[in-house]
Structure 1
Amino acid sequence: MGKGTQALKNVAVAGAVQPPPAGTTQHQVAVAGASGRMGHMLIEAIRAADDCRLAGALDIASSPAIGNDAAAFLGHASGVPVSSDIAAGLAHAQVLIDFTRPEGTLAHLQVCRELGVKAVIGTTGFDEAQKRQIADCARDIAIVMAPNMSVGVNVTLKLLEMAAKALATGYDIEIIEAHHRHKVDAPSGTALKMGEVIAQAIGRDLKEVGVFAREGVTGERDPSTIGFSTIRGGDIVGDHTVLFAGTGERIEITHRSSSRATYAQGSLRAVRFLAGQDSGLFDMFDVLGLK
């Protein structure tokens, strides 16, 4: 056992999760990116939930929030400081909720694995190699990973699966998504998930049929393709529309988010689901019983 691993084990022992009072069940939850917009929404949702307690708060070392109470933005003292020390931030947690960047999430996940902390991952933009790292971690800890934690979005994905099977021939499929100016990846993870669900439903591979850019003389549209269009601007939380365009009619299935609160509430449902899982990689279809 290396020194780093032993140090993590020592932290785990020294900061073991404290059991809730007799007769109650509380999920001890840590939040990554605690001083960001999504981090604030998660902390507020945890505070409002009777069965959850904020047990840790992580952020990058350069964040001005480091050392401050994680709930200070609410005018509330949680007793949990924002920390850049991953092991210390997870020492009292049972589950980490992470909506950060791929590199940060993977660093957090390695420590989760060492400490036996489960994870809810809402981060997007992972490449295939990074996804394999996450799947490997899931051999030892339980993970819920989804590009969108919204309950409504995941119900929309189920509707798209049904629609795609019925509209597999004679309809061109286009996915249009819009997000705020600060989003760094495109298309959105949700849009890609929509494409994957549709492609699987009609027996295609999105890697082969996805079209992510059109410019100049593109030629006639290949009916087997699934097109993507991306919009970035303002403070749009997240809009997604899937267009099934046939001859004489078109069907549009749209989901619009007006608040990140939907992602926070879905994340807490994932936390509750993980309480019954020891290991494995799950998604929101598992959480919501949609499989």
Structure 2
Amino acid sequence: MTIDGKFALVASPTDSAQDAATVLRRRHDFAELDEAEGIIALGGDGFMLQTLHQMLTDRRIVPVFGMNLGTVGFLMNEWKPDTLDQRVEKAKTFTVTPLRMEAVTVDGETISSAAINEVSLLRETRQTAKLEVTADGRVVIEELVCDGVLVATPAGSTAYNLSAQGPILPMGSNMLALTPISPFRPRRWRGAILPDTTRIGFRVLEPVKRPVSAVADQREVREVSTVEVHLDTSLTLSLMFDPDFALDERIAREQFIV
């Protein structure tokens, strides 16, 4: 298999990613982005999320093979410019279904946004947030007092969710992580693992006195009054990985890192 004429190349604006793009352009004849059957993405995890979100916006979704020119690169393969054709041909493909955030602001504006990793609610001021939490319309926590709370997919469970002491979810588990951020009340609640068919709702108590923002990956909506989060099964993204560097194995290994 050859990627020439089939795959497009996109790169982060960082010097390292741009230098790597120059190397690859000397070796391959890349397709135009709007005609490509796949994408080679150079950068870090943030750039990969940006690339995936752009596809969701354009509603033109193709597989992405990323190579790490950033810091962590959890969603990326190693940067190795040699034998790229063979690597893409042998790559293992994983499908990722994003979350859909429906947020309503204090002013009544409704904003919808996709999230590949997580949707987070965060306090905007020094005062803690007070939230009512529902699952499929049923109140499960009448008042959660905290710095915030998040809903994470398996692909995003090793990111912000893990930093907030949330669980790592294996790929294909069909679960979502509901994780509090610095909870004060209920003091002993450390979160929940829910079926990914669950519609999770949040109502901000005292939204003027205790303003809360909602963030879908990198998009922030400030001063929200209610937020609903659910898996958007109408959208499916495809990430390609080297067989010995596959996403499911990397997530599983994270459970044993101390």
- Does the alignment reach a TM-score above 0.5? no
| The structure with more helix, counted as a fraction of residues | 1
Q: Which has the higher contact order (CA 8 A, sep 6+)?
A: 2
Please give the TM-score of this superposition, normalised by the length of structure 2: 0.29
Please give the TM-score of this superposition, normalised by the length of structure 1: 0.27
| The structure with more strand, counted as a fraction of residues | 2
